[in-house]
C-alpha cells in the first residue's frame, strides 16, 4: 500500500508541484517554439514523453553498471538512441507532424528535462519508480505545451486543432503566434501554476542559476559561474 502511494506521489508531482516547464523552468526552448498550434505542441510533448520514459527505464536498469566517470556520455547515447527511433517512427507515420516540429524533434537529445531526470532520478532509483517519474514528468510537459498551444492557436489563429472558430477567425490576434505572444502566455501560465503550488505550501518557481541544476557538478559553465562569484566577492572586499 505504501509503495502504491509512493508511486502515485512520484507520478503526480510532475503535473503541477514540480511541473518541468512551469515550475522547474526547464525545456523552455521547445515550449516556446512548438506551441503555435495544439497539434505541434501535443506532438512534441508525446515524443519527448516517450523518450523520457524509455531513457529513464534503461538508465535506471544500468545505473549500477555505468561507471560514474562516463555516466553523462552514456546517458546521452541512450537518449539519442530513443530520439532516433522516435524520429524514424514520426517520419514514417506522421510526416506532417515531423515537418511541423522540424529541428526541434532531433533536439530532444539535448532537452534538459530528459537529461536532468536521468541524472537526478533514474540514476538513483529503481526501474518502476523511474518509469513512473518519467510518465509524470512527461504528462506535465505535455499538459503545459497543450495549454500554451491551445491559448496561442485560439487567440492567434482563431482556430483549435485546425478547425476555424467563427467569432475569432475573422480578426485573430496574430501576436499570440509570434515569439512575444509565446513569452506572454508562458508568463501567465507560470504565475497561475505558482499560485496553485503555493496553496499546497510549495515555494514559488525561481531561476536560481546553475547551482540547482542536476548537472552542475560536471558542468564547466557552473565552474565559470563559481569563479565569477569569487571574483565579485574579492573585488567587493
Let me know: does 153 contact 159? Beta carbons within 8 Å. yes
pLDDT value of residue 229? 55
pLDDT value of residue 22? 87
- Here the contacts of 151-155 (C-beta below 8 Å, separation 24 or greater) are 151/176, 151/185, 152/35, 152/36, 152/37, 152/176, 152/177, 152/181, 152/182, 152/185, 153/36, 153/37, 153/38, 153/177, 155/181
Report helix, strand or coil for 208.
coil
The residue to which cell 482556430 is assigned: 159
Mean pLDDT of the region 23-29: 87
- How far apart CA 10 and CA 135 sit, in angstroms, is 9
Let me know: does 10 contact 3? Beta carbons within 8 Å. no
Encode 142-181: b = buried (16+ Cβ within 10 Å), e = exposed: bbbbebbbbbbbbbbbbbeeeeeeeebeeebeeebbeeeb
Q: Is the pLDDT of residue 87 over 90?
A: yes
Residues contacting residue 218 through CB under 8 Å, at least 6 positions apart: 72
Among the listed residues 74, 61, 112, 75, the one whose alpha carbon sits nearest the alpha carbon of residue 214: 112
The residue to which cell 495549454 is assigned: 147
pLDDT value of residue 45? 94
Q: How confident is the model at residue 167 (pLDDT cuts 50, 70, 90)?
A: confident
Q: Is the pLDDT of residue 112 over 60?
A: yes
pLDDT value of residue 11? 83
Q: Mind listing the pLDDT tens digit for each residue in 191-203? A: 888 887 777 666 6
Computed over every residue of the chain, the mean pLDDT equals 83
pLDDT value of residue 136? 92
Task: Report the range out of 125-139, 153-167, 206-220 with the highest average pLDDT.
Answer: 125-139
pLDDT value of residue 173? 85
pLDDT value of residue 93? 93
pLDDT value of residue 165? 80
pTM higher than the cut 0.75? yes
pLDDT value of residue 47? 95
Amino acid at each position: 500500500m505504501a509503495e502504491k502511494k509512493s508511486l502515485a506521489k512520484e507520478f503526480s508531482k510532475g503535473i503541477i508541484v514540480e511541473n518541468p516547464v512551469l515550475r522547474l523552468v526547464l525545456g523552455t526552448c521547445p515550449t516556446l517554439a512548438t506551441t503555435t498550434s495544439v497539434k505541434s505542441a501535443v506532438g512534441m510533448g508525446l515524443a519527448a514523453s516517450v523518450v523520457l520514459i524509455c531513457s529513464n527505464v534503461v538508465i535506471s536498469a544500468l545505473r549500477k553498471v555505468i561507471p560514474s566517470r562516463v555516466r553523462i556520455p552514456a546517458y546521452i547515447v541512450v537518449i539519442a538512441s530513443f530520439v532516433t527511433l522516435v524520429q524514424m517512427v514520426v517520419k514514417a507515420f506522421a510526416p506532417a507532424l515531423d515537418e511541423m516540429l522540424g529541428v526541434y524533434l532531433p533536439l530532444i537529445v539535448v532537452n534538459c528535462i530528459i537529461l536532468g531526470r536521468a541524472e537526478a532520478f533514474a540514476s538513483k532509483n529503481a526501474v518502476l519508480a523511474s518509469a513512473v517519474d518519467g510518465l509524470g514528468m512527461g504528462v506535465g510537459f505535455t499538459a503545459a505545451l497543450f495549454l500554451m498551444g491551445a491559448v496561442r492557436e485560439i487567440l492567434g489563429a482563431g482556430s483549435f486543432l485546425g478547425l476555424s472558430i467563427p467569432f475569432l477567425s475573422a480578426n485573430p490576434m496574430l501576436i499570440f503566434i509570434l515569439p512575444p505572444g509565446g513569452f506572454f502566455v508562458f508568463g501567465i501560465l507560470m504565475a497561475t501554476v505558482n499560485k496553485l503550488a503555493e496553496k499546497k505550501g510549495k515555494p514559488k518557481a525561481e531561476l536560481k542559476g546553475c547551482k540547482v541544476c542536476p548537472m552542475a557538478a560536471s558542468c564547466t559553465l557552473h565552474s565559470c559561474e563559481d569563479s565569477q562569484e569569487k571574483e565579485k566577492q574579492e573585488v567587493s572586499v
